[in-house]
Structure 1
Amino acid sequence: MSSAARYYRSYIGVPLTTPDGHDIGTLCAADIIPRQHSNDKVERMEQLETLVIYELEFRQQTKIDHLIGALTRSVFSEEVQKAMAFI
């Protein structure tokens, strides 16, 4: 079997759900080797999901100046550069 024709034989995944209940994707692990996933591994994936959501929320929060509700200076500068690239 060529390396391009490999098929997944094992998959484990948990939904990525924001604190306000929006599903934004899936955190998953796949392998070409068949595996049995214990409850412990499912719990670890759920812990990783919590960590991923925390990190995404943290990154989003660092883009906003919560005192005035506007983008931070660095994020504003990045957004201006992106907008200028289209002109």
Structure 2
Amino acid sequence: MKPVEIYMKPTCGFCHAAIRLLDSKNVGYTTVNILAQPDRRAEMIQRANGRSTVPQIFIGGEHVGGYDDLNALHGRGKLDAMLAS
């Protein structure tokens, strides 16, 4: 399974929704709390092509987007293949 990274804030409902979706699929992930590590925010924005909202999700180093993007991949049946390939 490809590594999953989530840039998030603990107060973000969409961040928790993304985590719940990944948990429901038994997917491991690492989180970067940009409130606790504010120096990582610039890194997130650069990796996410200028997007500055959270969550920003990466699968295998590829930028997926935010929760809506992750959920859309799941709804189209493409998330499992992206995680596995």
Same fold (TM over 0.5): no
Higher strand share: 1
Which structure has more relative contact order (CA 8 Å, sep 6+)? It is 2
Return the TM-score normalized by structure 1: 0.28
Larger radius of gyration: 1
